[in-house]
Amino acid sequence: MISFDKASHIVKLTNGSIDYVVYINTEGYPETIYFGKAMRDFNPETMRTAPKWHDETHVYDPKTGSERWFADGFKQNVAPLELSPHARRDKRGAPIICMRENGSFATDFLYVSHRIFNGTEPLVGLPSAHGDNCSTVEFLFRERTRELYVKHRITIFDDCDVVVKNYTIINKTGLNVTLSRAMSMQLDLPRNNYALTHFSGRWAAERNAVTNKLVDGVQEVSSNLGATSAEENTFAYLSELGATYTHGEVIGFNLVYSGNFKLRTYSDMLGGTHITYGINDEDFSWVLADGDSFVTPQAVVCYSSDGIDGMSRNMHDFVRNHIVTYRHDREYKPVLFNSWEGCYFTFTTDSIISYIDDAAKIGAELFVLDDGWFGRRNDDRDGLGDWYINTDKIDLGKVIAHCHAKGMKFGIWFEPEMINFTSDLFKAHPDYALREGNEDVFLGRHQMHLDMTRDDVVDNIYNQMIAVLDRYDVDYLKWDYNRRVYEHYSGHLGAERQGEVYHRLTLGYYKLLGRIAARYPDMMIEGCAGGGARFDLGTLCYCPQIWTSDESNPARRCTINFNTSFGYPLCTMGTHVNDCKLFDYRAKGQFALFGTYGYEMNPNKLTAEEVAMLNETAELYKRYHKDVVENGDLYHIADPSDGEYYIMQCVSKDRATSLVLSMNLRCQKDRFRFVRLRGLDPDKRYKNSHDGKVYYGDYYMNVGLNCSQEWHQEFECQLFVLEEAE
């Protein structure tokens, strides 16, 4: 709910659990006077008081030739603002910079009006949060000297403690204006006793949690690689010093965007924290023609006073309810078998059919033919850009018919944004590759990036893709992306527009992905980027799940999954059993249950015992995934980065069923003998699948789950199912 009190100039957004309060001061700057747990008392007078000694409070006014105080007690450079000016009044870092006609850097937006409405409105050209159970305030600002406007929206959701914010910049100046920074939000907090946790990594080791106490000055989390990247993820959080999984204030951040981003915290000398988040301003500029608008991606801010897991569960509800749009998402997701690690590029129609037959024996319900079925693709040096079937290698119609005859769904791999220089497409259109004239071009995995800023390139790939997808009955598409952007130059855009390339590439990705998703609404698309290098909310708006990493060995993957799941629900995290030797197939199957379960190995080589193990875990997936893992609540219990155990717990929303997974990483017998569970109903009685014993929820949450008896060796997994007893 959002209300405006005319007398006090206060806009209050609340969902009964959190409040976000904006005071519109008479100087024309909306001040964020509160963001936190819902409360009863508000006094703008005391809540917005800056330090008394702070004297940046008055200006020389040439109109009167005298000194005047800022109206309304406004204190520049200290007041917590919704949109700080640049090169005037504020040195903390403005989210928007747009030079004036006279060359001045000053950008100073002042309040004009606001409107409040139920729900939210989609963003033009960008994916965004959706849903009815939310309300939005839209402020209109005008730049002090010209007809340059900003619409600033804040939406609060009723079913999760999340607000989303963004700016739309509108040019009515009669001239072109150039944006040199166009971020999505600012949030000023009146304290800085926080640590910043972000998720850095690399290929096959995505999302290591890095936590640093905020220090005075600037800290940044960013990507300039063209996509959200394996190096940094868009999700990050601030936690009050001393916060734990269950206690303390934690504020999570994310961006509904898949391109270059920058989250910047500036911790000031007066004990405040100034946060900006949005498109990375490195090598960014945008020429905004008169009459045009620039829409910034939505920034997501999630609040919890119940620790890291409180924030995390709110993020999960937000993603499930307001980001994922695939229409069958809340339905059961089939057990997936992917051909990649089993045979890579080397297969025939018969070998794939034998894979399908053996995949069915381990409970697979969806068979995915990965890389290698198109063009002249027999290794990774050719084929990208040529999306016609390699009929010498594979009879796709026969494979799909076989799959469907067995009652299985069929899926196929594409990497639409890339091109090999050996491809027919490159021979016909060498200008389609992103490059600068005849300069040499870095080849990431032997491939170049298509110039997705061009509509004709998007159209070409779209037409090639639909020629395959219209002809064949495809239930699933894996959308891969295996290199980063280095040469961000488009010969198609003029010199003054090269700062637009990165953002236009991301818009091109959404155009193509959006058109494919709209044309085949029943086809599930899984995102992927050389593992999990584009795991973000922008992608999730089209793809209900994303391949989390190319590392499927649970000893390493456990850290990747554990950390990814702070910001993203398990149902979005593709997790497969492969043939890694450290674990037996039962353990690998149990591990994959805490994600979207699938397989990736040579199924012809499985022994009868292994087939039996995998059938056992596939059955558990079919029985419990939807209610407990997909739609339930997640609790992080033991962090594998500590090197000893990996323990996660899921509880169904009705608190009738819980799954607990524990993995012993270091042959420790007693360290976690009694694992205190969370989220159960203390008054419900639960039967433990291991020993058949029945105890109240409060027993498991206070005494704990006794795990000691079976932890005899490293890399042993235990899965406990607790079900409400009659």
Active site residues: 480, 550
Tokens coding 616 = 């056992």
- Interhelix angle 585-592/608-624, rounded to 10 degrees, is 20
Nearer to ligand DGJ among residue 386 and residue 550 (C-beta):
550
Residue 386, judged by CB atoms within 10 A of its CB (0-12, 13-18, 19+), counts as buried
H or E element, residue 405: helix 396-405
The Cα 674–Cα 681 span in angstroms is 18
Kindly write down the DSSP assignment for every residue of 527-567, as one continuous string: E-BTTBTT-SHHHHTT-SEEE--S---HHHHHHHHHHHHHH
At 76, which amino acid appears?
Answer: Q
Nearer to ligand DGJ among residue 83 and residue 336 (C-beta):
336
Residue 674 CA, distance from chain mean position: 34
Q: Which residues pair with 4 in a beta bridge?
A: 11
Q: What is the DSSP letter of 500?
A: G
Q: How far is the CB of 332 from ligand DGJ (least distance, A)?
A: 23
The Cα 653–Cα 680 span in angstroms is 10
Tokens coding 484 = 């980063």
Q: What is the DSSP letter of 142?
A: E
In contact, 205 and 548? CB cutoff 8 Å = no
Tokens coding 415 = 């990497």
Residue nearest to ligand DGJ (CB): 371
User: What φ, ψ does residue 206 adopt, rounded to 5°?
Assistant: -75, 150
Q: How far is the CB of 203 from ligand DGJ (least distance, A)?
A: 9
Q: Residue 330: count other Cβ atoms within 10 Å of its Cβ.
A: 15
Q: How far is the CB of 322 from ligand DGJ (least distance, A)?
A: 27
Q: How far is the CB of 532 from ligand DGJ (least distance, A)?
A: 8
Nearer to ligand DGJ among residue 139 and residue 542 (C-beta):
542
Q: How far is the CB of 501 from ligand DGJ (least distance, A)?
A: 24
Interface positions with ligand DGJ (CB under 6 A): 340, 370-371, 413, 480, 482, 528, 530-531, 547, 550
Q: What is the DSSP letter of 237?
A: E
Nearer to ligand DGJ among residue 277 and residue 568 (C-beta):
568
H or E element, residue 75: none
The Cα 336–Cα 157 span in angstroms is 33
Q: Would you call 42 helix, strand, or coil by DSSP?
A: coil
The Cα 302–Cα 276 span in angstroms is 15
- The angle formed by the CA atoms of residues 90, 91 and 92, to the nearest 5 degrees, is 100
Query: Which of 22, 303, 17 lies closest to 163 in space, CA to CA?
Result: 303
Tokens coding 280 = 């990375």
At 341, which amino acid appears?
Answer: E
Mark 460-497 as b/e (b = at least 16 C-beta within 10 Å). bbbebbeebbeeeebbbbbbbbbbbbebbbbebbeeeb
